[in-house]
Chain A
Amino acid sequence: MAMHREPLPGHEDEIDRRVRHGIYQSFMETARAPTAAGLASALDLPLDAVARSIDRLAAAHAIALAPGTRNVWMAFPFSAVPTAYPVTTAQRTYWANCAWDALGVSALLGVDAEVHTQCADCGDSLVFGVRQGHVESHAVVHFLVPPKRFWENVGFT
């Protein structure tokens, strides 16, 4: 069993930065959210320290957790669960939370990507993507919820 030194008080900010970074690394490399245990192992931190960090990150709206759990649901622009916005790159397919986030996956990764989805208005198939830094679509992105209210119901947003 690996032994971990309990983090010193005041080091929470450093732990939170490392845990947040670890969450993003997992999404980027696998398109999946890490577990708390996986993060603890990868970062060589005690599990309870990682768990508390995940709670702080969620409270700060840096990530979203599946309700009633400590499972990472969203690390924007990534979703841990399938959505209407699959983002396909040369490496793999990611799930994005919305159209803005779908473009955000391409922006964050710095790669070309294609999104196959459906128009939320008429249901027609809709394809958009980024190629060589330029977006290819004449579709319109509609924002229903103003940004200052995003977190009232982040799943609905």
Chain B
Amino acid sequence: MAQCWHLARLWYRGREALEWRRPTVERMEAIFADVGLAGPFWSLK
């Protein structure tokens, strides 16, 4: 759950902002890696 909270903060903080842009696939994968989510399940390619 703590890991998911870390993921949620990186993923959703600032999502509501007018200037928010969809992150790149690379950025999304980097977020997963930052949180410790690795392996084929978490690959976006």
Interface of A toward B, CB cutoff 8 Å: 17-18, 20-21, 24-25, 28, 60, 62, 76-77, 99-101, 103-108, 110, 128, 130, 134-135, 137-141, 143, 146-148
Interface of B toward A, CB cutoff 8 Å: 1-5, 7-9, 11-20, 22, 28, 32, 40-45
Residues of B within 8 A of A130 (CB): 5
Q: Is the CB of B1 within 8 A of A108?
A: no
| Interface pairs A-B: 7 shortest CB-CB | A103-B8, A104-B12, A24-B16, A135-B5, A141-B4, A137-B1, A21-B18
- Complex Cα distance, B5 from A137, in Å, reads 10
Q: Is the CB of B1 within 8 A of A18?
A: no
Contact of A135 among B1, B16, B42, B45 (CB under 8 A): B1
Nearest neighbor of B13 in chain A, beta-carbon distance? A107
